[in-house]
Amino acid sequence: MSSWWRGGVTYQIYPRSFQDSTGNGIGDLPGITRRLQHVAGLGVDSIWLSPIFPSPMADMGYDVSDYTDIDPLFGTLDDFDALVARAHALGLRVIIDQVLSHTSNAHPWFQDSRSGRSADKADWYVWADPQPDGSPPNNWVSVFSGPAWEWDSRRRQYYFHNFLPQQPDLNFHNPEVQDALLETMRFWLDRGVDGFRLDTVNFYFHDAELRSDPPSVRDDPLPTVSLYGMQQHVHSKTRPENVAFLQRMRSLLDGYDDRALVGEVGDDADRAIAIMAEYTRGDDRLHMAYSFDMLGMEYSAAHFRSRIEDFFAGAPDGWPCWSFSNHDVARHVSRWLPHAREPNVLAKQAAAMLLSFRGSVCLYQGEELGLTETELTFEELTDPPGIAHWPDYKGRDGCRTPIPWEQGNDYSGFSTARPWLPIKEPQARMNVADQSNDPQAPLAFYRDMLIFRRRRPVLREAQIRFFDTDEPVLAYSRGTGADALVCVFNLSPGPVVLQVAGLKLAADAPDQAAALTEGALSLGPNGFAFLDAGGATSKPSVRFRI
């Protein structure tokens, strides 16, 4: 079997916002198929489709009501087959989202389960009696805030939901649930998908004794939005039983050629990296995993270094997948703009850094354009948490607005009708068509950087070794000996100078905003450099000088 996923680059497609082919303002599978040449032209290895299954859309498809069909909003199974065939013809693997920890409350499984305590699927979800005073069984809270228990009058019990009440959690302690979910995965494997992105992969199991979660150790004031961070979620998720189910999934995929599992780990920063390591070590669990550790506000050399070093310390034989943006967080150019002078310069630096980390990489649609977060009014929101907690939290809609393909029409080539979320002028100006003709645009840089990554095998899998440098400089080497590549980044809006020895600028690297003269490496604001060891056998020397 090949290991195409190891060091590979995946491009996340949010189907509602990629391309509309029907004129209803919502993206769909034929639209994605139409635009796949753009993705293939970037030089990525695979695409990841966010959920496309039948759903009431309480959480934009992350509330699945049928695991083995396509929601009519997006098309048909024939449309899906056509998309997979086109992707494969272009050399792209296809990964689909699997939301296994919970279903929609409209799923037939849940409808049966809530019908009575003697129903066929009575034990397929997490049900519990109220406490004597009528309150929920324990103190577990929802990620979206509020109790994680919803009273059901038909069963006269509470059911558990880690997210919205419309997303009841499945009971993985029941072997029948595990078997049923594995069969849904087999359905898509037989249909030709190359892998699965596993939503909330550490949420599958809960504590069978329903013990309350302990409080977190906090010095900061009460949160303004979700109370979720006030607990240590040691009983409501990330249970030890989870590993055995990951092994069952891996065994299923090992029965097919060249398939891969990538898990999303949702947990506190001090635990997520350790969970990633635990879930990917050895050869019988996930192929790779990612967390939200690089999807926050932190933009410092110490932070990036610690995340990577901590992962490989915990799982020397494990494998991470790093990303800076996705459909759940504000776009990184907006998040990190306080550390830069120019958004496009920051976009290029972020691409160069992410694509030179050790691990696999996931790019979020529009990232290659340097897209910024869209500012929306309350009336334009669709995301339930944003609506509930406005204005302290504006939700996830700002990163989900449609791709601007063209300039000069009302809807930027995305649709012939008003899109489900607006494309505003700042984003419309960053459209694909205009950037395709601009060699200085982020799009050109992403293409060049992906070529450079393919040309330099050390960037896909070689070891990483960090140099001791002061902020704001991040520096590390990939590989050893004559093939070694030294990567240096100035994570600040001001220039810096480094003293280096035994190195030269890599002639085939994309534009670096760097100069090397007599051992002095000058990096402009948010500048970076890729340097060759030039055949040197000794350890390259990197010293920071203000």
Q: Which residues contact 510 (CB under 8 A, 6 or more apart)?
A: 348, 352, 445, 448, 449, 452
Q: Are residues 191 and 319 in the same domain?
A: yes
Q: Are residues 202 and 286 in the same domain?
A: yes
**Domain annotation covers residue 207:** yes
Q: Are residues 437 and 478 in the same domain?
A: no
Q: What is the per-residue pLDDT for 481?
A: 86
| Residue ending a domain, choose from 448, 482, 508 | 448
Q: What is the per-residue pLDDT for 412?
A: 97
Q: What CATH number is attached to the domain comprising 495? A: 2.60.40.1180
Q: What is the per-residue pLDDT for 546?
A: 37
- Rounded (10°) angle between helices 269-280 and 301-314: 40
Q: Residue 491 sits in which domain range?
A: 463-545
Asked if residue 41 lies in contact with residue 436, where contact means CB atoms within 8 angstroms, the answer is no
Q: Are residues 467 and 442 in the same domain?
A: no
Q: Are residues 487 and 366 in the same domain?
A: no
Q: Are residues 366 and 496 in the same domain?
A: no
Q: Are residues 505 and 423 in the same domain?
A: no
Q: Domain total for the chain?
A: 2
What separation in angstroms does the CA of 471 have from each of 7, 131, 300, 488? 27, 53, 7, 12
Q: Are residues 51 and 23 in the same domain?
A: yes
Q: What CATH number is attached to the domain comprising 238? A: 3.20.20.80
Q: Are residues 471 and 441 in the same domain?
A: no
Q: Are residues 297 and 228 in the same domain?
A: yes
Instruction: Give the pLDDT confidence of 208-262 residue by residue, as tens digits.
Output: 999 999 999 877 778 778 889 899 999 999 999 999 999 999 999 999 999 999 9
The residues that are catalytic are 199, 264
**Domain annotation covers residue 131:** no
Instruction: Give the pLDDT confidence of 362-417 residue by residue, as tens digits.
Output: 999 999 999 999 999 999 999 999 999 999 999 999 999 999 999 877 899 999 99
| Residue ending a domain, choose from 395, 422, 448 | 448
**Domain annotation covers residue 502:** yes
How far, in Å, CA of 401 to CA of 427, rounded? 9
- What is the reported pTM? 0.97
Residue ranges for the chain with pLDDT beneath 50: 536-538, 544-546
Q: Closest Cα partner for 180 from 258, 64, 80? A: 64
**Domain annotation covers residue 443:** yes
Q: What is the per-residue pLDDT for 201?
A: 98
Q: Are residues 256 and 199 in the same domain?
A: yes
**Domain annotation covers residue 282:** yes
Q: Are residues 382 and 518 in the same domain?
A: no
| Residue ending a domain, choose from 397, 417, 448 | 448
Q: How far apart are the first and last CA of the chain?
A: 49
Element (H, E) at 415: none
**Domain annotation covers residue 144:** no
- Rounded (10°) angle between helices 343-354 and 442-455: 20
> Hey, is 34 helix, strand or coil?
helix
Count of CB atoms within 10 A of residue 390's CB? 16
**Domain annotation covers residue 296:** yes
**Domain annotation covers residue 118:** no
Q: What is the per-residue pLDDT for 218?
A: 77
